[in-house]
Amino acid sequence: MLPAIFTPQLLRKIELLQVTSRRSFLGHRQGGHISPRRGHGIEFADYRKYEPGDNPRHIDWNLFGRSDRMYVKTFQEEQNVAVLCVVDTTASMFTSKGNAKWERARDLTLALSYISLLQQEDVLLCLPGTCALKSFYGARAVHSVARILDEARPIEPLQYKREIMNAVSGMRYPGIAILISDLLTPIDEVLHQITALRSKGLDVTVIQILSAEDLDPLSGEDYALAIDSESGEEVTVSLDSAQREDYRQQIMAHVEAVASIARRLGAAHVFGEVEQDLFSFLSTNLSRAGLLR
Amino acid sequence: MNTFSFGAPYLLALLPLGFAYLFYVYRKGGSPKPVIISSLLVLKQFEGKPISRRKFAPPLRILLELLLFLLIALGAARLAQQGDVQDVTLILDNSFGTKARMEGGKQVWDGIKGEALSYLSSLPSTARVRLFVTSPNSRALTDRPVSPQEASNLVTPLESTYGEDELELLLNKSLQNKSKASTVVFSDKELAVPHPTIQVRTVRNPAHSNVAIIDAAIAQEKLTATILTEGTAPVKTALQLDLFEGNERLRVGKTETKELELSPGTRIVVAFDIPKRTKGAKLSLPSLLPSRNVIVEDDVVWLNTSPGSKEIAVVSSTGGTLGLEHIPFITVRSERAEQYSSQSIAGGFIFHKFVPAELPTAPTLVVLPPPGNPLMPTVVEGGDVKAAQVTRWADSHPITRYLTLPSLTFREALPLRPLEWSKELISSTAGPIALVGEPSGEKVVGLGFEIFPFEGPRAPTVSILTLNIFKWLFDTSSAGAGIVKASVPLKLGQTVPKVEYVEGNESLTPAPDGSFLPSHPGLLLYKGGQMAVQFFSERESSLKFEPLRLPGKEEPAKAGAHSQHSLSSLLAGITLFIILLDLYLSWFLPRRKRQVTGASS
């Protein structure tokens, strides 16, 4: 059962979008992405000399007429790609009011999975620390994805890098990797996570989501005991209006640092706020990043 | 006028301490509200105290906290509203003790009355007042709440009486009523422990010097009197005895005086021999200094030895006095049943195997009433009188005192049928055989067994029972026949139209029911007899005031306070309302708003 936000109208609009990759990958079945493999397809790739055994139908007879040499046309094969979705389920994703941040991560995962599944891609779902890597194929599998996401609960802090490495190693074919997280972790850890995804040559897109509470953490309170949702660390904090602005700037600096690291590692970085409309985020932010078109 | 007071004003000292603490806590920052956030990655750099509190710019909320603290402190200090009393019960102690003189010669009662009138004038005109006096017999002067002005009009003519107060009884009844009215008592006594709703305003002479005759009796040509002396110094005085003789206007006969030297805090018994012809006597202490004797009214006692009024009429079918002439302290006359009429006058009646058509207006003993009579019906099975053994008796009644009744078996017993007014005194195997009651204000005893003729020591149990009955019925304890208490209505029968005091040419006017109310002691003369009116009360004559004790939980209250309405519940209500309002505004409403906003987005 899909969440209520996925109305028929929204689904119809989402169906018009397509997952793209900035690189071509070898797939294992016919699909929608141009594969490096030459073979049958629509896209002309090159000529090569006829060799015994080639299908005579592929001989370019016009060229034979002009040059008296037999050449056969080759095409770029269109194959599927694997789309790996790594969704952060640590406690920090569940702290915002009404679990808005987690719900946005869940909805994005579902939307991207739905688009991918419609394109006959293999969707691999990784919720670090909660379950093993699961693979889905076919549009109907979106409901299975939804059920797994629905059952997701906050997990204890873990070795995120190792979890990601395990997920990546489970992929039989390289493809697209999408990391959905708030990435409110030290930059070193962000580096490790993206590096782990890039280690198998995946086309990585990092989607960083922040909620209103992340940007203005003590809304309505100028003095509070801030408790870290994951480590449980407690800090007495006071924020006046100037300090709030300072805090916001520092958060945005952290986002920029994450984007910088992603760029350096050849990954795309997309930042989004929970309050933004879902389809607008898909069609604008992710299209701009080259993940959708 | 509305004023406010505090039950525990010292608790108000908490206010500045509390305010200082609130200020300190606010400056310090108070306990920060715990907020769970996603990550302390950036926020950790903002650790510290709020800048705004360093310069004390309190938010509106601290005013709310101050208001709450103020309300709690006022409630703890037991804020009470005074003066706007709408419902007041006033009890005026006008008992005999208030006749004590204060400095200047005025009676304590004058002070009590003045205080009460002053209090009434201070009440708002909208107040409703119930008025009670304590003596004789505590009673309400108002059948409904009246205005202070009306109450003042009722208080003005009041006088102190010759009667004991029943103040504790009245206050206990008032507490049992659970009335919300505040009670103000004006008395010469004070509460042992202050009470939250009962305020006692005490007026009395601080001196404790009084000499009083607290008992007197005539028995077998001998008159004895008991004199109580209170104070700190010995008192020299003379006890004067005036004897009255003759039946017409009782001309004064012999006067005898005994010089006395009385030590303080003692009681002495003085005896006089009196001649047989004496009809009445007056004992007095005429030569006492006012400073040594604050109550003058207890220095005079009247006694009566005339049998005219208090002789006991023995009415029987056979005539005769049934051996009662051997009892020294009563005088009996015999009447045959057919001679008896409702006009017969006597101090008491004994009906033996006979019952009149209606009970006389005097103490009455009915022995073995004939079956079938309506006044004292009997339970007769088969018309036989049965033998009966006593099974149960009311051992708390004066009549059964000093008796061991289970050993008593009557050969002939006539069970009596209990009546509305009667109480079962002795039960037997045959049924009730002794009933007592006061059907119309007069004591009546009905016996279903024979006690006559009176045989004295030869039948000790029955004789003690008979003497107890006489003692209870005819009040023969000390003074003998023909003596009544002042302020007690006197029923002399329909044939007595006029009653006069021997001294002072004062006469009494009969009440609508034919009774006379002797307002003060003296010797009364009326057609057919004479009656001594006297008043003894050691409790009232003594100036060692016993504090009033009330039942239940007593809490200290501010002495001398007006009637108070505690505002604690009102303050608690306001505090609760503010807390709920704060909860609604600061927690529920924002949450609801967020929910609505979330749903719409």
Q: Please report residues of A whose CB lies closer than 8 A to that of B42.
A: 184, 247, 250-251, 254
Any A CB within 8 A of B29 CB: yes
Q: What are phi and psi of A12, to 5 degrees?
A: -60, -40
pLDDT at B503 (0 to 100): 77
Where would I find the beta strands (DSSP E) of A26-91? 30-39, 43-49, 71-79, 82-87
DSSP-based three-state secondary structure for B146? strand
Q: How far apart, in whole angstroms, are the C-alpha atoms of residue A256 and residue B1?
A: 75
> What are A272's strand-pairing partners?
A209
* Among chain B residues, CA nearest to A92: B38
Percentage of chain B lying above the pLDDT 90 cut = 5
pLDDT digits (tens, 9 = 90+) for A180-190: 999 999 999 89
Structural tokens at position A183: 């990435």
Query: Which of chain B's residues have a Cβ under 8 Å away from the Cβ of A221?
Result: 33, 35
Residue B473 has pLDDT above 90, yes or no: no
- Neighbouring CB atoms inside 10 A of B494's CB total 12
- pLDDT, position B600: 46
Q: Which residues of B touch A226 (CB under 8 A)?
A: 35, 37, 40, 43
- Rounded to the nearest angstrom, the minimum Cα separation between A227 and chain B is 5
pLDDT tier at B66, thresholds 50, 70, 90? confident
The partner residue sitting opposite A221, judged by closest CB among B33, B49, B598, is B33
Q: How close B63 comes to chain A (CA, Å)?
A: 18
Average pLDDT over residues A23-49: 74
- Which has the higher per-residue pLDDT, A56 or A250? A250
Residues of chain B contacting A4 with CB distance shorter than 8 Å: none
pLDDT at B476 (0 to 100): 46
Q: Which residues pair with A234 in a beta bridge?
A: A227
- Under the banding of pLDDT at 50, 70 and 90, the label for residue B175 is confident
- Name residue B34's beta-bridge partners: A225
Predicted confidence (pLDDT) at residue B252 exceeds the cutoff of 70: no
**Which chain B residues are within 8 Å of A100, Cβ to Cβ?**
598
> CB A235 to CB B53 under 8 A?
no
Pairing state of beta strands B33-37 and A223-228?
Answer: parallel
Q: What average pLDDT score do residues B468-492 get?
A: 67
**pLDDT attached to residue A254:** 95
Which of B528, B514, B515, B444 shows the shortest CA–CA distance to B484? B515
Q: Cβ of B597 under 8 Å from any chain A Cβ?
A: no
Neighbours of B298 (CB within 10 A): 28
Q: Cβ(B261)–Cβ(B236) under 8 Å? A: yes
Between chains, do B34 and A213 touch, taking CB under 8 Å as contact?
A: no
CB spacing of A247 vs B43 below 8 angstroms: yes
pTM of the model: 0.43
Confidence grade of residue A261 (pLDDT, cut at 50, 70, 90): very high
Mean pLDDT score, B50-56: 56
Residue B46 to residue A186, Cβ atoms within 8 A: no
Complex ipTM, two decimals?
0.82
The mean of the pLDDT values for chain B is: 78
- Among chain A, residues having any CB pair with chain B shorter than 8 Å are 92-93, 95-98, 100-101, 182, 184-186, 211, 213-214, 217-218, 220-231, 233-240, 243, 246-247, 250-251, 254, 275
- DSSP-assigned letters across all residues of B463-501: HHHHHHHHHHHH--SSS-SSEEETTS-B---TT---EEE
Among A256-270, B122-136, B405-419, B437-451, name the one with the lowest average pLDDT: B405-419
DSSP string for residues in B207-272: ---EEEEEEEEE-SSEEEEEEEEESSS-EEEEEEEEEE-SSSTT-EEEEEEEEEEE-TTEEEEEEE
Q: What counts of helices (H) and strands (E) characterise chain B? A: 11, 30
Residues of B in contact with A277 (CB under 8 A): none
In which band, very low, low, confident or very high, does the pLDDT at B509 lie, cut at 50, 70 and 90?
confident
Query: Is B49 in the A-facing interface, judged by CB distances under 8 Å?
Result: yes
Extract the tokens encoding B24: 């300190």
| Chain B residue with the nearest C-alpha to that of A157 | B39
B62 confidence band (pLDDT: 50, 70, 90): confident
Alpha carbons B404 and A182: distance in angstroms, whole number: 102
Q: What is the residue type of B208? A: H
The Cα of A44 is separated from the nearest Cα of chain B by a number of Å equal to 48
Q: For A110, phi and psi rounded to 5 degrees?
A: -65, -45
Distance from the A129 Cα atom to the nearest Cα atom in chain B, whole angstroms: 18
B33 in contact with A, Cβ within 8 Å: yes
Which of A247-256, A267-276, B273-282 shows the lowest mean pLDDT across its residues?
A: B273-282
Residue B420 has which token pair?
A: 């509305």
Rounded distance between C-alpha atoms, residue B513 and residue B498, angstroms? 14
What number of C-beta contacts closer than 8 Å exist between A and B?
Answer: 106
Predicted pLDDT at B182: 80
Q: What is the pLDDT of residue A263?
A: 93
Question: What is the amino acid identity at position B453?
Answer: P
Higher pLDDT, B566 or B108: B108
The arithmetic mean of pLDDT across residues A289-293, rounded, is 88
Q: Find, in chain A, the residue whose alpha carbon is nearest to that of B43.
A: A247
Whole-number pLDDT of residue A177 = 92
| Residue B590 contacts A, CB cutoff 8 Å | yes
Q: How far is CA B14 from CA A213, B19, B566, B573, in A?
A: 41, 8, 20, 21
Res. B384: pLDDT tops 80? no
Counting Cβ atoms within 10 Å, is residue B264 exposed (0-12), middle (13-18) or buried (19+)? middle
Selection from B176-185, B208-217, B566-575 with the highest mean pLDDT = B208-217
Residues from chain A that touch B45, judged by Cβ atoms under 8 A, are 250
Q: How far apart are CA B494 and CA B489, in angstroms?
A: 14
Judge whether B458 is closer than 8 Å to chain A, CB to CB: no
pLDDT bracket for residue A110 (50, 70, 90): very high
Please provide the average confidence, as pLDDT, over all residues in chain A.
Answer: 87
Of these ranges, B56-70, B228-242, B339-353, the one predicted with the greatest mean pLDDT is B228-242
**The CA-based dihedral angle spanning residues B377, B379, B383, B388, taken in that order and rounded to the nearest 10 degrees:** -120
Tokens of B140: 């309400």
- Average confidence (pLDDT) over B363-380: 85
| Residue B564 burial by Cβ neighbours in a 10 Å radius (0-12, 13-18, 19+) | buried
Q: Which residues of A39-62 are buried (b: 16+ CB within 10 A; e: fewer)?
A: eebeeebeeeebeeeeeeeeebee
d(CA A257, CA A263): 10
Alpha-carbon gap, residue A192 to A261, rounded angstroms: 10
Give the largest Cα separation in chain B, rounded: 123
pLDDT at B593: 67
Q: For an interface test with B, which of A181, A216, A223 has the most B Cβ atoms less than 10 Å from its Cβ?
A: A223
B551 pLDDT band (50/70/90 cuts)?
A: low
Name the closest residue on chain A to residue B29, using Cα atoms: A223
- Write out the DSSP string of B298-313: GGEEEEE--HHHHPEE
Q: Best residue in B26, B31, B36 to probe A by mutation, most A CBs within 10 Å?
A: B36
In the chain, the amino acid numbered B550 is L
pLDDT at A271: 94
Is residue A292 pLDDT above 80, yes or no?
yes
Backbone angles phi, psi at A30, to 5 degrees: -55, 135
Residue B562 is predicted with a pLDDT of 47
Q: Hey, are the CB atoms on A230 and B39 less than 8 Å from each other?
A: yes
CB neighbour list of residue B271: distance below 8 Å, 6 or more residues apart: B222, B223, B224, B225
Q: Give me the pLDDT at residue B308, please.
A: 45
Query: Which residues, 6+ apart, have CB-to-CB distance to A99 below 8 Å?
Result: none
* Mean pLDDT along residues A31-54: 77
Amino acid at A128: P
To the nearest whole Å, the CA of A14 is away from the closest chain B CA by 20
